Amino acid sequence: MALRNQPYIPLYVQDFLTDEKLIECSAQATGVYIRLMCIMHKSEPYGTILLKQKDKQNGKQTLNFALKLAKHLPYDLNIIESSLDELISEGVIILEEDRIFQKRMVKDNDISDKRAKAGAKGGKFAQAKVKANIQANSEIENEDETEYESKDENFVFTDLDLLKAEMLNSEQWIEITAMSLKTEISNIKSLIPVYCLEQKSKGKVGSIFKEYKSHFYNWSRIKLKDNVSQPGPIRKEKTEADIMREKEERIKGYDPSKRPTY
């Protein structure tokens, strides 16, 4: 389904609240911005508002857009114009010639289209669908805003590198998991590569996405419990060499837990 046909905006709350660009804007501009995103959600192209020839009544573009938007927003013309100037100045929305757009919304729509095209090719192209998702998401890896779109819960992963990428891209699932486990999002993100590497070393491949996520939750709960007494970030996982060295020390009668630290 095209994003503009969905009855909701893919708004990721945590990123919206911590958006450094939006934080610089006034409460007035933020209110206009929220209404503006609703209009952009129903616009074609998605995330964009175009200025037609009949809308060009003045030499100042933001005033022309304000006049156009005044028909759809419950604010005075001066409030709309000043808010647009502020949002554009801070880089929250982009003004290019005869259009204003929200950069993330435009890219989200592009990602959605790529996923839809990949999925339409059928089951035998499922792997291509996942790679298309990852390639599309890599283009917005460094963006401030994020959006969550549900993955295929029954997709079978035989490549755990792809599993790791899909997990790291599932932002809303990561936030929900962090909230449920009462930990930081950064801790969950740091555990995902460790989990995938462990599953790979044990040869545990071929499960569906839903099962991996469920197992990861229980696995993370144990890991976080083990680290509850440790301040700061999650402790670094022991390497195979560390484990072998500790076994040898135990055989010799030495307790590795009493090894001095510096």
Query: Domains of the chain: which residue ranges?
Result: 3-102, 150-262
Question: What value does the mean pLDDT of the chain take?
Answer: 81
Per-residue HEC secondary structure of 131-160 comes to HHHHHHHHCCCCCCCCCCCCCCCCCEECCH
- % of the chain exceeding 70 in pLDDT: 77
**Lookup: tokens for 256:** 């590795």
Kindly report the CATH number that applies to the domain delimited by 3-102. 1.10.10
| pLDDT tens digit sequence for 166-201 | 999 989 899 999 998 989 999 999 999 999 999 988
| pLDDT tens digit sequence for 102-158 | 998 988 888 888 877 776 665 555 566 556 666 665 554 444 443 334 446 788 888
| pLDDT tens digit sequence for 206-228 | 889 888 999 999 999 998 887 75
> What is the structure's pLDDT at 96?
92
> What is the structure's pLDDT at 126?
57
Length of the chain: 262
Q: SS3 of 49, please?
A: strand
Q: What are phi and psi of 99, to 5 degrees?
A: -145, 150
Q: Classify each residue of 235-254 as buried b or exposed e, where b means 16 or more C-beta atoms within 10 Å of its C-beta.
A: eeeeeeeeeeebeeeeeeee
Measured distance CA(185)–CA(29) in Å, rounded: 29
Q: What is the pTM of this model?
A: 0.47
